[in-house]
Structure 1
Amino acid sequence: MPELKENNGGPADGTGMSPVIVMNQLSYHYDGEQLAALSELTLSIRGGEHTAIIGASGSGKSTLCQLLNGTLSRAGLGERMGRLTVFGQDPAEAEIAVVSSAAGVVLQDPDAQLIRETVEDEVAFGPENLCVSPDEIERRLVGALETVGLAAERQSRVRRLSGGQRQRTGIAAVLALQPRLVVFDDAAANLDPPARHDFVRLCRRLRDEGRTVVTASGRMDETARAAERVIVLAGGAVLLDGPPGELLRSHGAQLAALGLLPSPHEGRPADEVLAQRTSGAPLLEVKELSFTYPGSRRPVLAGTSFALAAGETVVLLGENGTGKTTLGKLLMGLLPVPRGRLFWRGADMAKLPVWKLAAEIGYVFQQPEYQFAAATVWEECLYSVRAFLGLRRHESVPARYERRASELLGRIGLQDKLQASPYLLSGGEKRLLSTAAQFVLPRTLYILDEPTAGTDYKGTAAFMRLCREQSEAGAALLVITHDSELANALPDRTLRLTKLQ
């Protein structure tokens, strides 16, 4: 086991196993950014072990993961300095076929690497490009899908899958390449609790097969605790390095301060009585709702019913593929609404135009990139205001909205990134920005789809405080999540969808 090292990124190779990843003064600086995303990392990672890289949002985890297979270096988004070798070769210079066979990276955003129409085509795509024989491709395809629990979805269209199922598809596609190094960049963020347990077992299985496993996450979660070694990044540099048990014993308070462990002071007070705001007519009613996507024979929702009152916060739970995101899109009018099943303030939502619903309902997508429309964080936060008021580009936003945007961005830690591109933020920062952008305008209902996936505990706590303020102001919130922190601390009620057989 590596010895505990604080403020020291040096190699920890006490077992005699040779390192497969070596970094020497490795730095990365994105174009247009003042601060480096990674700063002079010097460390090595041994072969055949599971190493977890954790850090708060923006600490450089995703940057490091994308450097390990050369994708970021080849993208031309910035400058890499220092030395990096993976199995003795620089991934930025080696042939792509060689790199992809040696190092497989599952990205934080599954949609960023899924390119084929069906699940089987996606998983077979990599081996096909490496000229693997058809029989071997079939064997790998079946094995990878069984490993991630998607054998029944082999013929399914990728874009019809839930976020968690798309994430598992991305994992299967990398497993089918059979790389010696497997890197998971917050690959469990969109998975439900049973699937996260399966993911930990997968990491253990890959390690037992002799593969090197690197996982990255914004929390000291179950995956990090299962690793032999944990590297803590802060500000693009190594802060702590050691076995997870030792880090928890000796640096628990420091990890909590970084947002990597839950703070004991966060959450609702134990003696707080939750108000059940159910008096009067409900804002939203769902009555025996069923829904099947066009061209599919399998319903996603069947007989779903519930009501939501003003000022009420409801958390919607359910395994991947149970229809949570589909329900959210129906409530926002982004999918064709069946008549006589959804009612907003007593009116049939099938008869209400989307623009009218958008004036009262704020919606945060599961993939925040789908929602971004501006070039900078500041303009993104004010985009909905401009659209709502019908302002042209040269017209100024009223001062009260600018004050509100500035306050929200400060509370989620983005006050120093106002001119940064929303697309270059970390995964957790993107989700917080998309939420803040909706909260600038007061609305009656907010629908938030996986708003804290990949977010550290500090960001989750900030999100919960903002939600409570909206609720106290009279807004209703429907939060779709797998995050146990939200499910335990945020709602007045929880609802659970179950998978149809």
Structure 2
Amino acid sequence: MTAPAFDLERVGYSFEAGAEPVLRGVTLRAAAGEWIAVAGASGSGKSVLAQLLSGYLPRSGEGVRTGRLLVFGVDPAEAEIAAVAQRIGVVFQDPDAQLVQGRVEDEVAFGPENLRVPAAGIERRVADVLEAVQLTPQRMARVHALSGGQRQRTAIAAALALEPPLLVFDEPAASLDAAARTRLLALLRRLHREGRTVVTLSGRIDELAAAAPRLVVLDAGTVVMDGPADELIRGERARMERLGLLPPGAAAAPGGAAIAVPPARARGTAAASAPMLTDAAPIASAAVPAAGTAAAGVPLPAAPEEAGLPQPPLANGAPSSEPPPTAAPLLEVRGLTFAYAPKSAPVLSGVDLKLDSGEWRLLCGENGSGKTTLSRLLMGLLCPPKGAVFWRGKDAARLSLYKLAADIGYVFQQPEQQFVAATVWDELLYGPRCQLRLRKREPLPEELRQSALKLLETIGLQDKPGVSPYLLSGGEKRLLSIAASMISPKKLYILDEPTAGIDYNGVRMLIALCRQALAGGASLIVITHEPELFAGNPARQWSMREGRLVTTGHPERNEPTAENV
């Protein structure tokens, strides 16, 4: 009888002895060659499960594991690392955490080299997997010069190059555009046909989860559902909505299970050249309801005062929600062209845009189109050319980063990159303490303390003020980083991929924070591959292609108009 790919019997895990367990008595077995989707809301224990299977926990992250866990007959916490690497390849939720080489080619070859694969075999593997993830043109590129989605595909290629019989992907599509998601789905199907064991983990029932024959749902560290994916999605829809795994009010499609694929992707409008595969499950709308509606047991307030959110003053101190009249746009870009090196190809070419006070824009485009580069030039994290970026009528090239940071809040694509405190509570209050010049042990003003408590409740972290930010789930980290930026009133907030990997309950929390910022007079730029999640909100869309700003429109309408062709 063939040994199972992995076998967990009453497995539990806590980050510290005596701490609340993250996994509780999980019993789960996968047959060799099986494809399993594991879904669960933020904090349900998905990433911990992946790290236990790989042996990263408790080998490197320490903590306490209980129960029995075997991967193709060996315990990954005790076996030699080479033996584990030959059995399982894992792509973590944060690809930067596992990228260790300077160039894409070297990153992909790193694993096979350490397993002493002959040179000819390494070359074949590198070429094959880069073609599979469509990164062949970037083979010699520097890893950290790639976009977030391209780095995610690099991490996937590095795992594939090991050619392990078991592959685990934690939120593999979180930073991918629509075309890349379609290619990833086709790749997973191919791996399954070849006999590999495939496990995907996600915070929503997306097209990847619905395509897997078997679906496992985690909630609060326990397995609460396990069975055929299509049957569970049809029969447990209401429960999945409450868990935030399906969009509220999604109706089952005739003859099959509807899945939570965004409507733009369903129509193929986001990537006309990459339609969904013909054997994919039927698709239903995934739009988040407009403000003021209740869904999945979590109401989305129409106004910040209904959510009990702190309300920062308007930029001019007026009580009105109307943006104050200004002689110049809040932000203006004129013919911006930018390259990272003098002789390299430009990443941005001739970008023109304007943003007024109180305006909300979604910045969309394929991986590598220049979205993050543009946002970092707007923030001053990259030095813009003189006469190209203007902040409140002044040339941003002549303004210091400190001056811009006083007015602009920026949230990175990977929230860990900006955490500075040891606890959730201290992270949230780090900015206000610096502004008020309060030492850590000095008491907070009562109004600020109450605002922080309400903000923690809004993002669902009211029970975790003393937890390290690094021990939060991926979705919780994103919400904390956004809340920590928005607790200090700014004129503009720039959020880079804030919905990546978060469940639908988290999306509603995010939208509540965005609406509160707008009500306070701020402007918003949200970089996203999922504009449809913001339908029903006062947001307009910018679209980028190959470094140019090409269209503008509304996310709920498929009617872009030319702005800068």
Task: Give the TM-score range, shorter chain.
Answer: over 0.9
Partner of 1:365: 412
1:413 aligned onto 2:460: yes
Q: 1:455 aligns with which of 502, 505, 528?
A: 502
- SS of the equivalent of 1:479 reads strand
Q: Quote the residue 1:207 is aligned against.
A: 192
Question: Cα–Cα, structure 1 residues 269 and 39, in superposed 2: closer, same or farther, change >3 Å?
Answer: closer
Instruction: Give 1:158's match in structure 2, choosing from 114, 128, 143.
Output: 143
Report the Cα distance in structure 2 between the residues aligned to 1:394 and 1:269, rounded to whole angstroms. 39
- Distance in 2, matches of 1:491 and 1:107, equals 34
Alignment-derived partner of residue 520 in structure 2: 473
* Separation of aligned partners in 2, 1:468 and 1:111: 31
**SS of corresponding position for 1:19:** coil
**Partner of 1:11 in structure 2?**
none
RCO (CA 8 Å, sep 6+): is it higher in 1 or 2? 1
Classify the secondary structure of the residue corresponding to 2:5.
strand
Local SS of the residue matching 1:497 = strand
Please list, as runs of the form range in 1=range in 2, the aligned pairs for 1:371-390 lying within 5 A after superposition. Answer: 371-390=418-437
Query: Counterpart in 2 of 1:398?
Result: 445
Tell me, in whole angstroms, the C-alpha distance in 2 between the residues paired with 1:414 and 1:448. 20
Counterpart residue number, 1:38: 23
CA distance in 1, matches of 2:152, 2:377: 22
Distance (Å, rounded) in 2 between the aligned partners of 1:246 and 1:17: 27
Percent of paired sites with the same residue: 54
Query: Deviation above 4 Å: which 4+ runs of structure 1?
Result: 269-272, 275-280
Query: Is 2:409–2:493's contact at 8 Å kept on the other side of the alignment?
Result: yes
Q: Tell me the CA shift for residue 279 of structure 1.
A: 7.0
Shift of the alpha carbon at 1:277?
7.0
Q: Out of 241-250 and 277-286, give the one that drifted further.
A: 277-286
Distance, in Å, in 2 between the alignment partners of 1:337 and 1:160 is 17
Contact 1:110–1:170 (CA under 8 A) maintained in structure 2? yes
Secondary structure, aligned partner of 2:351? strand
Aligned partners of 1:313 and 1:490 also within 8 Å: no
Measure, in 2, the Cα distance between the counterparts of 1:217 and 1:313.
Answer: 28
- Check whether the contact 2:3–2:72 (CA below 8 A) recurs between aligned residues: no
CA contact (8 A) 1:27 1:40 kept: yes
CA distance in 2 between partners of 1:266 and 1:154 (Å): 38
In the aligned structure 2, how far is the partner of 1:199 from the partner of 1:389? Answer: 48
* 1:147 paired to 2:132: yes
Question: Cα distance 1:287–1:276, how it changes in 2: closer, same or farther (>3 A)?
Answer: farther
> Within 2, Cα distance between the matches of 1:34 and 1:93?
23
CA contact (8 A) 2:91 2:168 kept: yes
Is the Cα contact below 8 Å between 1:313 and 1:492 reproduced in 2? yes
Q: Deviations over 1:51-78 (max 9, x none)?
A: 0000000000000001111111211431
1:257 aligns with 2:279: no
- Contact (CA 8 Å) 1:487, 1:494: kept in 2 or not? no
Q: Who is 2:178 aligned against?
A: 193
1:288 maps to: 335
Q: CA deviation at 1:492?
A: 2.3
Deviations 1:209-257 (A, max 9, x none): 1000000000001110000111000010001111121112111011010
Q: 1:500/1:325 Cα in 2 relative to 1: closer, same or farther (>3 Å)?
A: closer
Q: Deviation of residue 358 (structure 1)?
A: 1.1
Using a 3 Å threshold, how does the CA distance of structure 1 residues 500 and 469 change in structure 2: closer, same or farther?
closer
Q: How many Å separate the matches in 2 of 1:102 and 1:489?
A: 46
Distance 1:489 1:72, change over 3 A: farther
Matched, 1:464 2:511: yes
Letter in 1 for 2:490: R
Once the two structures are superposed, the pairs formed by residues 1-400 of structure 1 within 5 Å of their partners are: 19-31=4-16, 34-264=19-249, 266-268=288-290, 280=326, 281-294=328-341, 297-400=344-447
CA 1:99–1:340 in 2, change beyond 3 Å: closer, same or farther?
Answer: same
Q: State the distance in 2 between where 1:402 and 1:500 align.
A: 43
Superposed displacement of residue 356, structure 1: 1.1
Please report how far the alpha carbon of residue 287 of structure 1 lies from its aligned counterpart in structure 2 after TM superposition. Answer: 1.1
Aligned length: 484
Higher mean C-alpha deviation, range 317-326 or range 286-295: 286-295
- Please report the RMSD computed on the Cα atoms of aligned residues, expressed in angstroms: 2.1
Q: For 2:416 and 2:85, how far apart are their aligned partners in 1?
A: 26
Task: Provide structure 2 residue ranges, at least 5 long, that are not aligned to the other structure.
Answer: 250-286, 294-301, 303-320, 549-565
CA distance in 2, matches of 1:435, 1:66: 26
1:398-455 Cα distance to aligned partner (Å, 9 max, x none): 2222222111111111111110000111111100000010111111110000112110
Paired residue for 1:9? none
Q: Are the structure 2 counterparts of residues 22 and 222 from structure 1 closer, same or farther at C-alpha, using a change threshold of 3 Å? A: same
